[in-house]
Structure 1
Amino acid sequence: MDLSKGSIRAHLTEYQSLPRLSLSQTSLLEENFKQNRNPTELEVVLYAAEAGITEEDVKKWFQHRLAVWRQQQGLPANSGHINS
């Protein structure tokens, strides 16, 4: 596992399939997203520990949030990394 590379690929997820998060968990992830839209594996682990959720939930949230951000920028939602 390469902990230095971003691990998130943009993917729109149906809302019912997204992790159910508290307002504070969502705020924490949103703040981290503003600082870094494509976190490394290590950052995903840290965000999960800080929010008290699974790494899979963090990845799913970031994948969806990145897809939404890409749409807002006029890019295809379900493309790969931000540079795709």
Structure 2
Amino acid sequence: MLQSQNNRTSNEKNSSYVNRIKPEQISALEQEFAKVKTLHNTDLELLAAEMNLDEKDVQAWYVDRLAIWKKEQGLSDGFGQL
């Protein structure tokens, strides 16, 4: 039982968006992030469609990238939230 749980956890990690986004797509996402730090739903949908990615993958990448950017800037996690 423990063995199957370990395999499942490993498989779930392998299915993360990081493994599905290609380096050229990451470059394009970085370019977009340099222009806009947060995406509205419509922008998210359009960007995902243009890049042939799942919206959830783009959203997850943006959330993670924003967290990294905030840390680099020395900003709190709540910065910019109402």
TM-score between the two structures when normalised by the length of structure 1: 0.70
Whole-angstrom CA distance in 2 between matches of 1:36 and 1:51:
17
Q: CA RMSD in A?
A: 1.9
Letter in 1 for 2:80: N
Decide which structure has greater helix share: 2
Over the matched positions of the two proteins, sequence identity in percent amounts to 33
Partner amino acid for 1:33? F
- Is structure 2 residue 80 aligned with structure 1 residue 83? yes
Separation in structure 2 between the aligned mates of residue 18 and residue 75 of structure 1, nearest angstrom? 25
Deviations 1:12-63 (A, max 9, x none): xxx9644321111101111110110001100100110111110000000000
Gaps of 5+ in 2: 1-12
> How many residues are matched?
67
Tell me the SS of whatever aligns to 2:18: coil
Q: Which residue of 1 aligns with 2:48?
A: 48
Alignment match, 2:3: none
Q: Contact between 1:44 and 1:59, CA under 8 Å: does it hold in 2?
A: yes
- TM-score, with normalisation over the residues of structure 2? 0.72
Instruction: Extract unaligned runs of 5+ from structure 1.
Output: 1-14
Bigger Cα Rg: 2
Q: Residue type of the partner of 2:62? A: F
